[in-house]
Amino acid sequence: MMPVPSPQSPVSEVLARARAAFIGVAVGDALGATTEFMTPAEIRSRFGVHRKIVGGGWLHLKPGRVTDDTEMSLCLARAILQSGGWDLKAAADAFLAWMRSKPVDIGSTVRRGIRDYLLKGQLETPPNDWDAGNGAVMRMLPVALFTLGDVGRLQELVVAQAHLTHNHPLSDAACVTVGRMVQAALLGADRFALHGIARELVAQHPTFRFKDYSGQASGYVVETMQTVLHFLFTTGSFEDCLVGVVNQGGDADTTGAIAGMIAGALYGEAAIPAQWLKKLDPEVLREVTAAAEELVRRSPYCKPAGKGDGHEQ
């Protein structure tokens, strides 16, 4: 059952956790971009332990610059806020405008889905055995914030946004699980409660089993989730979780972003290292912070049914 805030956990605390979740996406993205596509051995050889936002990486980024994980999350947030509710076409239009802006990085499955929308007006890509990547999970935080207080709505909308580019049962399951974990953490759940949600994922799809972590951190959504869940549940702080994740290399910007959104919601704003906040692109920091608050304020949690529930079609 979804936990609810105690009288000592007012809306202001939920808003603070929401801000931390969206900031977590951005700092995880910026931290992990440096080690993306590297092996753990290569990271150790170059950095010892990579724990500073220094830019570089295969994209040769400036320190604090974010990639497609944060950029697509912000596209989704803007689409929801500017539409005054949920509008799948507005989300697709936002992704299309982003692709046309020539982003620093864009995944092949994401690009194909957006091009199919451009050329065919397609709002749901057909099921594809090759679509079990992590590109739908990395960007779905705005949906989790906007649907806070309505798990059914979360499940509906998080899959709808996923199917713009990714239509695969493992991607869908990961999106729903991450969304549920974020929402539970926003409302005060501890690591044990989040572990219970993760166990439900493994019960439904045993391939996600993360107990004996293999160390693989590719863009395959199963390995992405195994990496995130392993470090979320074997560390005790936001910083240790993200440092562990990005030092696995592989698709480190995305594993970092997903770990950041869950760990941010779990540990809160005060747990995010100040030096990471100072390095993060200030415009990105400003926008993710403002968007996180506004999305929650428009959610069923803050606006119960009958008082502007945000269920526009």
Q: What is the pLDDT of residues 242-271, one digit of tens each?
A: 999 999 999 999 999 999 999 999 999 999
Q: How far is CA 203 from CA 100, 154, 194, 219, in A?
A: 40, 20, 14, 22
Answer for the pair 262, 228: CB distance below 8 angstroms, yes or no: yes
| The CA-based dihedral angle spanning residues 203, 204, 205, 206, taken in that order and rounded to the nearest 10 degrees | 20
For the chain, percent of residues with pLDDT exceeding 70: 94
In this prediction, residues 15-31 reach a mean pLDDT of 98
Coil, strand or helix at 133? strand
Upper half-sphere CA count for residue 311 (Cβ side, 13 Å): 16
Task: Spell out the residues 6+ positions from residue 133 whose beta carbon is closer than 8 angstroms to its own.
Answer: 107, 109, 166, 171, 219, 220, 221
Q: Is the pLDDT of residue 5 over 70?
A: no
pLDDT tens digits, one per residue of 74-119: 999 999 999 999 999 999 999 999 999 998 888 889 999 999 999 9
Looking at residue 162, its amino acid is: A
Per-residue pLDDT, 104: 86
pLDDT tens digits, one per residue of 41-61: 999 999 999 999 999 999 999
Per-residue pLDDT, 269: 96
Which single residue is written with the structure tokens 């993200």? Answer: 242
Q: Is the pLDDT of residue 309 over 80?
A: no
Please state, in angstroms and rounded to a whole number, the distance separating the CA atoms of residues 202 and 69. 25
